[in-house]
Amino acid sequence: MSYVKKNLVIFGTRPEAIKMAPLVKEFQKHKDFETKVCVTAQHREMLDQVLNFFGISPDYDLNLMKPNQNLYSLTADIITELKPVLEDFKPDYVYVHGDTTTTMAASIAGFYAGAKVCHVEAGLRTHDKRSPFPEEINRQVTGRIADYHFVPTQQSKENLRIENIKEDHILITGNTVIDALLYSSGKVDKMENGEVQKLEVLLKGYQKMILVTGHRRENHGQGFINICEALKTIALQHPDVQIIYPVHLNPHVQRPVREILSGISNIQLIEPLAYPAFVWLMNRAYLIITDSGGVQEEAPSLGKPVLVMRDATERPEAVSVGTVILVGTQKDKIIAETHELLTNNNKYHKMSSLHNPYGDGKASERIVNFIRSL
Ligand code: UD1
Ligand code: UDP
């Protein structure tokens, strides 16, 4: 009788869920694996939106999110609450994704339990431990602990090689975000989606739409005030442009955004969107302004220019292919670059060619084949 390998896939936030869902679905196709899902629920509503869309029911739900939570207790709670799960299921392999507190804490817990730790979306680096904060360190710590590293690009493999990770423990897979994007693009057109119909109404009468998202911890405080003041100026300078901003539920984001941007007729502050509706909106956008990691990866595949409100990015590939410009959080720079893209057609068209530096949609398949081959 052949041995069934036991997988525990652990995630907790919206982006991890989007990027791990295709892997969960791929493992579930194969009978030589027993695959269970554990969510820390570091996010609650924004996680549940993704679980609903992909039809994933977690086997374990730690339900840890607290309003305005902090890094200290969240980290401690995740490690503590994973202990009984790991002791109950006894996985051979624990899968973590990316760079969140869930990622870092779950990799430590998986290591304590004696499982092989598999890091999906490994090897991204800014080499600046305060940017993104605390994600750069979360990813580096996870990289130290992990046994197997699934990297999206050659550049991320190189980053790990420099850190003396064994080459045969690294696999270039592409990013599972492209697997998710392809899965959702196929669905959204066919959907009777109430959310999409509401968005259609917001777009009516405007020539162009700018889609905005933002949440990074290092931008909390003055950074967000600058961002919001820049958006306000852009809206007033360009009344023919609609700005749509699905506002992240973090109270440190909600507060400045709603205080500074409420009541402006061409700025729509809306709730976080379910993934397929957000993909639909990205497709309809003229330009995206964001500090998100995932959106930076999706945009090149959709041919959408992105202004990234960060000083450094661990995703240099999209900057190299020309889709992304880093603008930081300086008000004047955000206003100037946006104005340029709204008015300079040549520059806009150069930035909006289609590229796929992050993969071909087969990342999950490659990961499954690799684990099977061990
Ligand atoms: C977290 C991750 C960040 C990731 C981001 C994706 C860490 C340290 N941060 O940041 O790496 O890029 O998620 O969005 O791991 N909240 C809700 N409902 C939700 C989600 C959040 O109310 O569904 C509110 C809660 O008050 C919560 C707060 O947002 O306490 C902060 O959530 P947290 O996960 O700690 O930080 P994020 O800024 O979401
Ligand atoms: N996203 C979504 N709904 C929204 C905003 C974003 O589904 O209202 C998706 C987006 O397509 C991307 C992911 O969420 O796949 C990015 O998440 P976020 O920006 O919160 O985190 P990051 O990628 O910066 O870690």
- The ranges assigned to domains in the chain are 5-175+360-373, 193-353
pLDDT at residue number 272: 98
pLDDT at residue number 3: 83
Burial class of residue 200 in the structure, from the number of CB atoms within 10 Å of its CB (0-12 exposed, 13-18 middle, 19+ buried): exposed
Per-residue pLDDT at 61 exceeds 70: yes
CA distance 283 to 261: 24
**To which residue do tokens 């969510």 refer?**
39
**For 252-263, b where at least 16 C-beta lie within 10 A, e where not — what string?**
ebeebbeebbee
Position 14, amino acid: R
pLDDT band at 191 (very low <50, low <70, confident <90, very high): low
Least confident of 7-21, 102-116, 192-206, 293-307: 192-206
- What are 57's two structure tokens? 């029911």
- Average pLDDT rounded to a whole number, residues 144-169: 98
Query: DSSP secondary-structure letter at 249?
Result: S
Mean pLDDT of the chain: 96
Instruction: For residue 29, report the distance from its CA to the centre of ligand 1, in Å.
Output: 31
Q: Judge whether 99 counts as a catalytic residue.
A: yes
Ligand 2: residues within 6 Å at CB? 14-15, 18, 213, 215, 246, 272-273, 275, 278, 292-295, 298
**To which residue do tokens 């996680």 refer?**
47
Class of domain 193-353: alpha beta
- What are 298's two structure tokens? 């999706």
Instruction: For residue 88, report the distance from its CA to the centre of ligand 1, in Å.
Output: 28
- Average pLDDT rounded to a whole number, residues 112-140: 98
- What are 178's two structure tokens? 């492209």
The residue with greater pLDDT, 189 or 68, is 68
Q: Judge whether 135 counts as a catalytic residue.
A: yes
- Average pLDDT rounded to a whole number, residues 208-228: 97
- What are 46's two structure tokens? 């924004």
Q: Judge whether 217 counts as a catalytic residue.
A: yes
pLDDT at residue number 190: 58
pLDDT band at 189 (very low <50, low <70, confident <90, very high): low
Q: What is the pLDDT of residues 339-349, one digit of tens each?
A: 999 999 999 99
Rounded percentage of the chain residues whose pLDDT exceeds 90:
95
pLDDT at residue number 68: 97
Instruction: For residue 42, report the distance from its CA to the centre of ligand 1, in Å.
Output: 7
The sign of the torsion formed by the CA atoms of 220, 47, 143, 289 equals negative
Per-residue pLDDT at 186 exceeds 90: no
Q: Which of 177, 202, 275, 313 to mutate to test the pocket of ligand 2 (most atoms within 8 A of CB)?
A: 275
Task: List helix spans (H) across the chain.
Answer: 14-28, 45-54, 71-89, 101-112, 135-145, 154-162, 176-188, 194-203, 222-237, 251-261, 275-284, 293-302, 316-321, 331-343, 345-351, 363-373
- Average pLDDT rounded to a whole number, residues 270-278: 96
Per-residue pLDDT at 2 exceeds 70: no
Number of CB atoms found within 10 A of residue 187's CB: 14
Report the largest interatomic distance among the alpha carbons of the chain, rounded to a whole angstrom: 70
Indicate the CATH number for domain 5-175+360-373.
3.40.50.2000
Nearest of 340, 248, 216 to residue 286 by alpha carbon: 340
Q: What is the pLDDT of residues 229-255, one digit of tens each?
A: 999 999 999 999 999 999 999 999 999
